Amino acid sequence: MTENSPTKPRFILASSSPRRRELLASLNIPFAVIKPDVDETQHQDESPLDYVERLSKEKAQTVAEQIAAPALVLAADTIVLLAADTIGIFDDEILGKPANANEARTMLRHLRGRAHTVCTAMTLRHLNGTQSAHTLTRLTQTTVYMRDYSDVEIDAYIATGDPFDKAGSYAIQHEGFHPVARIEGSQTNVVGLPLETLNTMLVEIGFPGAM
């Protein structure tokens, strides 16, 4: 990374996701990475949207406590959400990262030929040297329509190892699998960092050079 401009606070990405690093780098913002250490267990009776928003806030707060002002901390959390009208799903269900090939196969079969929602919550904390910090949290949702891929394609994709660090067991950008037929909303949200929303947040918080 190049040296930060003296007119800008340090920018900290509170995420170890390589996809989020790539997306943030595309904005030409110099940044450092600090991985947040938080418990990601969903609370009892906590809705999926409340859950993802809470995690983004806790990740930002955890990293903010480790650094000195002035700084800008960006944290994000993404979930894949199957709605209640999906066959076999009796309530809104979050699809996380699969623990093994069987879980990945089950998720991909649930998603096949159907629509689901990808939700990313982002929290931006501006630490300005005072006791209080300016904090924004925004939620971005994208509807994703999956194509009717075959079981053979699922098995071939699982064999690549790609599903195992992905919520919902897939990557929209995977060149071999191409699981998505179309989307409604932000594509970068499906990757993990909705740049359109982030740009709006940077302007709102007064980050120099934001457009």
User: Cα dist. 6→3, 24, 26, 184, 199 in Å?
Assistant: 9, 20, 21, 39, 21
Catalytic residue at 85? yes
The Cα 54–Cα 40 span in angstroms is: 10
**In angstroms, rounded to a whole number, what is the distance separating the alpha carbons of residues 139 and 134?**
17
Contacts within 8 Å (CB) and 24+ apart, 92-99: 92/47, 92/48, 94/42, 94/48, 94/51, 95/167, 95/168, 95/169, 96/167, 97/164, 97/165, 97/166, 97/167, 97/169, 98/163, 98/164, 98/169
- Check: CB of residue 77 under 8 Å from CB of residue 15: no
Q: Which of 85, 91, 92, 148 is catalytic?
A: 85
- Among candidates 80, 27, 59, 78, which has minimal Cα distance to 196? 27
User: Which tokens in the block code for residue 205?
Assistant: 């918080």
Can you read off the two tokens belonging to residue 197?
């929303």
Query: Is the separation of the CB atoms in 47 and 182 below 8 Å?
Result: no
Q: Annotated active-site positions, please?
A: 85
